[in-house]
Structure 1
Amino acid sequence: MSELDRLVNSCLMPGFAGATVPDWVRAALDEGLAGVCLYGQNLVSGGPGQVAALSGALHRARPDALVAVDEEGGDVTRLEYGVGSSYPGNLALGTLDDEEVTATVAAAIGADLRRAGVDVDFAPSVDVNSDPRNPVIGVRSFGADPLRVARHGAAYVRGLQSTGVAATAKHFPGHGATTVDSHLGLPTVDVDEDTFRRRELPPFAAAIEAGVALVMTSHVLFPALDDVPATLSRRLLVDLLRTELGFAGVVVTDALDMAGVRAAHGIPRAAALSLAAGADLLLVGAEDGEEHCAAIRATVAEHVRDGSLPEARLHEAAARVAALRTGPAAPVPPNGDPGDLGLRAARAARQARDLRPLPGPAVVVELRSAANMAVGDARWSLADPLRELGSLDRAVTVESGDPDPEAVAASAAGRPLVVAVRDAYRSAWQERWLRRLTELRPDAVTVALGMPDDLALVPGPALATLGASRACTRAAAEALVGR
């Protein structure tokens, strides 16, 4: 392998297929690969033990390899992918609005990550969720107020990094005002620069002030500032992030296999363009990265030869990544049980309306649609904790409107009825289904496990948990039974 190829490798962080580390990853680590990101598809057992096994194998192959995950707590979890997170997510924490709680939860997540051998956490999301139609941020945001998001983002960074795990402020310069998921297309935030600066930037400035180790780019277009997505924009990554905001750490791209940049450029060219724009670490994506990495090396070499990507820029990027790999880390925390930290926070954040304890075991209806790709197939269930509390009659899953509300109402006659929804207000069939069911059963309790906007759809008893993590669903079940 040429020296240039090794230089490119030192800026690459691919994913891989399967539940074990493949030979090509071990070989690439020996040839300077920066590290690996683990995704839900790698975590078949869905627990911290699987993450620890993979990180252990990666670190045995290369002790300074970076092992990264998306562990936001709440809906986006990798450590507890199969069971749901023990912690509430950002919206619950932001609504609770206790910075000490946010920092403590982040430190607990960091301790879990350190014990599992994770070096980099792609969290927190410091996007300001200013558009409730947002299909990919939502409960992952601390809220719609830039200053509140800034305060809690900084607290999260401090808590997480106190454990030796590198935090990542994402998705620069903001993904909260979008109505398109950048996994699936290219979102545009068409606002004037003054609005952009007032709304999107304060959380990133606060995270930088708190010493955040990485900033992740967004595949989002801001026409008032540039005519290319942020991931490919030198105006945003160098002039704004580096020069104006003073960020000196690692700029990591969002996954390059996402349509926000892949559709127009392909992964290899997007990689070269992002390096030229000022990115340091290229997150290749969840697909098996062997062929993608080879294509990126070849394309970057072409850009170096034609002068569009100075080799000095590669050396600069590689040096920043190397500093992250060799940076000081806190001692690995001893095994310890944080107790009911996450559950206590989830209890404090839940919001009830006209709620009375269930008079007996309930029929629990869960309206389900595919989650966004950031959440993946992480488990959620309201029926499970009600079963644990002895208050479940039976569970009913509704997908694409089947079974219909009439059938469900008839089958639940004479028994308490609970309906769990996640952002039904953004799904035409779910909104229709929920409205009809509550017409038939006005006493049915609506439990919003996503954005609280769902509670505006129907009258009657209701509960908002501000997320669907295991901590949030347990807190909801306790409220339903009067605890």
Structure 2
Amino acid sequence: MTSSDPRHLPPHSGAPSPSSATTAQPLATSGIPDSLQTEKSLETIPSPELARLVNAVIWPGFVGTTVPTWLERALRNGLAGVVYFSHNIDPQIPGQVAALSAAIRAANPSAVVGVDEEGGNVTRLQARDGSAIPGAAVLGALDEPATTAAAGRAIARLCRAAGVNLSIAPVADVNTNPLNPVIGVRAFGSDTQLVSVHTAAAVSGIQELRVGACAKHFPGHGDTVADSHMDVARVALTMEQMRAHHLPPFQAAIDAGVAAMMSAHIIIPELGEAPATLNPLTGALLRDMGFDGLLITDALDMAAVRATVGPGEGGVLALLAGADLLCVGNPLNAYTSGRDDESCYTEVFDALMAAVESGRLPVPVLRRAAQRVETFAQWSAQTPHAAQTDGFDSAEADASIDWVDVAARACRIDQGTGAVELADPDAVLTLIDARTGHNMAAGPTDNFMAQALMERHRVNAVSASSLNAENLSDLVSCEESLGEPVFVMVDSLLSMNQQATLAQVAAVAPHAVCINTGLAPQSGPAIGTALTTIHCHGFSAVTAQAVARLVGI
């Protein structure tokens, strides 16, 4: 590797799209257009240039709030950019993230700096205090596309202030399986048309400020019962069903001009046994839908790749399948324990170099991918268009939006025996947290609900795991709490454990209120409880504040 200044690659001129197919083909070649296969793999390319070309398609995470030495060296040698995680952000230091982004671009002016910033449950830039922007399920429940576009612009403003030029959002998945462990309230809903409308609105809002949107997880992660972070996820649907119910939101994103797409590590049996990220038929399907932008892999350290072929080989197969940018993943994930951030990056780099040298990975494939990365970087560097049309100034209009009010208007209340509003403002509120774990995409968070309630009230926050019949009865009927009010927070009304906690509470406190931060049933009373239930469609700072407002605090 050299330490010379990065080379600006020529703008993408539109590589031919691979045609679709209906039968499985060998992973090594079927995603490569014939025009690229016929060229010599090694060409006559000097080793330093080849190293830069390999770097140009790798997108790693790193540890720390400043640029490590290895990362600066790689950026100066053409590394595509970085992905931020919450551990890269220190909210105690004003301007830290913007300074970090500036340092990254000092090493590579074309760097793509990305972050998972969906709003709602999944945020990195506001990870400590929770997102102030409603998530997709809130916006879908409210069903005001103009508000969704405004939320997209709010996300883009956060990104621009941090020096981020790619938001890995929106989620375009249609969450048709209520048991889905990883999508859930990250999706706009379970209706294909509604998700399509709001996906397009979010894309338009984000990109109005010249921040790239990245629709995910193609071709649709909404009907799985496994989390691809931890296992191989399969979709038990035909391609006809996928085309009818899960592809339309991605088509809507393409039609809205989305800059990037992220592939899913899911298996669709009709397309073969390779996860979509590694499957040339999936890449061909996306290109045949008219998308010629940046195709990014989901993280290569997720189990569907890590525990099968491994991140290095996964990167090779992903490029052969049509990917352009390889998201390496979060080096602080539990499953990368014992490895440092540099080794996570070098595993992918070394695998790509070896594949090129052996002839498995043609250099033209790398050039095509690098061109798309550079084209995106050039687009994002342009000045945003004035967000004003026919006298409507979006910045002025957005400034007046009360996001807590938006989240409160989206809440649905299924009335049971208990009252939502607090009758006694001086009572001690008992908040029982019955949730049984965190979403891997969101990561662990503080108890935003308790924090919001504590702003103007005394709260006794307890975990359901610490309760039994005797201490629960004591807890909800003790003199301090006067037996009221009692709130039980859940994130899955289909969880047997959480249903058991609700029943346990209802038996001793029938006037308790359930706060459901997960998916709401389509209609009718909440499954598993007769308690009054507030469906707030997410667990974030803004949804917690909305619940606090609804109960009269």
Q: TM-score of the superposition, structure 1-length normalised?
A: 0.94
| Residue aligning to 2:466 | 402
- Give the drift of 1:46: 7.5
Contact 1:103 1:159 in 2 (8 A): yes
| 1:67 counterpart SS class | strand
Q: In the alignment, what sits opposite 1:373?
A: 440
- The CA distance in 2 between the partners of 1:340 and 1:84, in whole Å, is 18
Change in Cα spacing, 1:427 to 1:356, as seen in structure 2 (3 Å) is closer
1:462 aligns with 2:506: no
For residue 280 of structure 2, what is the aligned residue in structure 1? 234
Offset at 1:383?
2.1
Of residues 339, 345, 352 in structure 2, which corresponds to 1:293? Answer: 345
* Aligned 8 A contact 1:110 1:165 in 2: yes
Residue number among 452, 464, 474 corresponding to 2:545 in the alignment:
474
Deviations 1:108-158 (A, max 9, x none): 111121111111000000000000000000000000111110110000000
* Cα-to-partner distance string for 1:157-199 (whole Å, 9 max, x where unaligned): 0000001110001000011100000000110002112111111
CA-CA distance at 1:331 after TM superposition: 4.5
Question: TM-score scaled by structure 2?
Answer: 0.82
Query: 1:280 corresponds to which residue?
Result: 324
Q: Which amino acid aligns with 2:441?
A: A
Taking the aligned partners of 1:307 and 1:356, their CA distance within structure 2 comes to: 66
Give the Cα–Cα distance (whole angstroms) in 1 for the partners of residues 297 and 243 of structure 2.
21
Aligned mate of 1:247, from 287, 291, 306: 291
Deviation at 1:422, TM superposition (A): 3.6
SS of residue matched to 1:396:
strand
1:341 aligns with 2:402: yes
Distance 1:160 1:66 in 2: 16
Map of 1:147-296 to 2, 5 A cutoff? Answer: 147-238=193-284, 240-242=285-287, 244-287=288-331, 288-296=340-348
- 1:323-362 equivalences in 2 (<5 Å): 323-327=375-379, 328-331=381-384, 338-354=399-415, 355-360=419-424, 361=427, 362=429
Work out whether residues 420 and 513 of structure 2, in 8 Å CA contact, stay in contact via their aligned partners in 1: no
**CA shift for structure 1 position 305:** 3.1
For 1:286 and 1:299, how far apart are their aligned partners in 2?
Answer: 19
Larger radius of gyration: 2
**One-letter code of the match for 2:183?**
I
Is 1:421 aligned to 2:489, yes or no? yes
Structure 1 residues 334-343 or 322-331, which shifts more? 334-343
Counterpart contact for 1:446–1:461, Cα < 8 Å: yes
Which residue type is aligned with residue 370 of structure 2?
A
Aligned partners of 1:153, 1:405: CA distance in 2, in Å? Answer: 45
Change in 2 beyond 3 A, CA 1:358/1:405: farther
The alpha carbon displacement at 1:372 in A equals: 1.9
List runs of 5+ in structure 1 lacking aligned partners: none
Alpha-carbon displacement from aligned partner over 1:316-355 (angstroms, at most 9, x marks no partner): 0001001111114335999998355321210110111224
Name the counterpart of 2:354: 302
Q: Which moved more, 1:445-454 or 1:457-466?
A: 445-454
Question: How far does the alpha carbon of each residue in 1:83-106 deviate from its partner, in whole angstroms, 9 at most, with x for none?
Answer: 111111001101111111100111
Between the aligned partners of 1:462 and 1:231, the Cα distance in structure 2 is: 39
Deviates more, 1:115-124 or 1:368-377: 368-377
CA contact (8 A) 1:368 1:397 kept: no
CA distance in 2: counterparts of 1:89 and 1:142, whole angstroms: 8
1:292, distance to aligned residue in structure 2 (A) = 2.6
Provide, for residues 214-240 of structure 1, a one-character-per-residue CA deviation record: whole Å limited to 9, x for no partner.
Answer: 0000000001122211000111112x1
Deviations, residues 363-408 of structure 1 (Å, cap 9, x unaligned)? 22223433122101233422222222x3x33222315x21335413
Structure 1 residues 394, 333: closer, same or farther in 2, change over 3 A?
farther
Given that residues 140 and 198 in structure 2 are in contact (C-alpha distance below 8 angstroms), is that contact kept between their aligned partners in structure 1? yes
Tell me which protein shows more helix as a share of its residues. 1
Q: Secondary structure at the match of 2:269?
A: coil
Is residue 364–residue 419 contact of structure 1 (8 Å, CA) maintained in 2? yes
Distance 1:450 1:305, change over 3 A: same
CA deviation profile, 1:256-312 (whole Å, cap 9, x unmatched): 000011111111000011011100000000015422322222222222233322111
- Write the distance in 1 (CA, Å) between the matches of 2:537 and 2:301: 29
The CA distance in 1 between the partners of 2:186 and 2:296, in whole Å, is 19
Q: Secondary structure at the match of 1:359?
A: coil
Give the counterpart letter for 1:352 in structure 2. I
- Name the % identity: 39
Matched letter for residue 39 of structure 1? F
**Structure 2 unaligned spans of 5+:** 2-47, 332-339, 388-394
Measure the CA separation in 2 of the matches of 1:420 and 1:289.
Answer: 40
